[in-house]
Amino acid sequence: MIAVQDDSQQWVKLNAPAKRIISLAPHTTELLFAAGAGDKVVGVISFSDYPEQAKQLPTVGRFDAIAAETIISLKPDLIVAWRSGNANAGIQALQRQGYPIYFSEPTRLTAIPEQLEELGQLAGVEQTANHAAEKFRQSLKKLHTQYLTKNTQQKKQPTVFFLVSQTPLMTVNKNHIINDVISNCGGVNPFADLPPLIPIISIEQLLVTSPSVVVATNSLLQQDGWSAQLKKLPVIQHNQVIYLEADHILRPTPRILLAMETLCEQLATKATVKPQK
């Protein structure tokens, strides 16, 4: 018997290692491959584009529109789902069918190696998964040593605003893993205590916080640029902006450390430059 506890605090139990796994989020696809279980994945959700092998797998719908009948036809013995992202109706239909479902939503960087190990247990690939987990922990420790102490020794920790969306204006709270990345780089999220995971805020709220740095994904550069309301921010007018690769920062997988390294490095430089009002 294999038993692990997932992010919904439920126990997932299997009589034997899973041989046919369905992944219902791009980040869970990535985690499964990183854990060494990629050859056991028989279906993925749309936008599961990393690693390259994932693009060749059958698609079982979108994260918010799961094709339950397609999933059932693939005869999975384990489903790995996104706790806050997947459509409840589709998940409930699969639960009624009795499929074991592992819910994933890492909210702290330290949860990523834990999930690699748990998925490794469920898929019977513990050796590869444990190695990937240890590699992640060592890389995180190295970044801590290199940047965290240096950035927190500043007289005042930089206020870091992470932009999720311009319209509506959205950010992250303390329960999102991006907040943990900011904290581990020595920054402070001014909206950490707002209740929703992805809060909607006003431009007035943002102006009051007077952030030291704005962090956005590089997809913003490929779209229409800054909205008229955000152009009012002195921090944007003076280019106190850090751009991160979207898939690196938005997916809680080992690649998030690539985004963290960029953020820590640039935060150490940009946060020391005070924009003129």
| E strands in the chain | 2-5, 11-14, 21-23, 41-44, 61-62, 65-66, 78-82, 101-104, 160-162, 213-217, 241-244
Domain that includes residue 227, residue range: 154-270
CATH, residue 46? 3.40.50.1980
pLDDT digits (tens, 9 = 90+) for 38-48: 999 999 999 99
Question: Quick check: is 256 in a domain?
Answer: yes
Question: Quick check: is 248 in a domain?
Answer: yes
* Mean pLDDT confidence for 242-268: 96
Give the C-alpha separation, 172 to 189, whole Å.
Answer: 8
Question: Quick check: is 134 in a domain?
Answer: no
pLDDT digits (tens, 9 = 90+) for 63-76: 888 999 999 999 99
- 161: nearest Cα among 270, 26, 251: 270
Residues 217 and 257 in one domain: yes
pTM over 0.75: yes
Residues 119 and 166 in one domain: no
**The predicted structure's pLDDT at residue 277:** 47
Question: Quick check: is 139 in a domain?
Answer: no
Asked if the model's pLDDT at residue 151 lies above 90, the reply is no
pLDDT confidence tier of residue 60, bands split at 50, 70 and 90: very high
User: Does residue 238 sit in helix, strand or coil?
Assistant: coil
**The predicted structure's pLDDT at residue 272:** 60
Peptide bond into 51 cis (omega under 30): yes
Question: Quick check: is 143 in a domain?
Answer: no
pLDDT digits (tens, 9 = 90+) for 221-240: 666 688 888 988 899 999 99
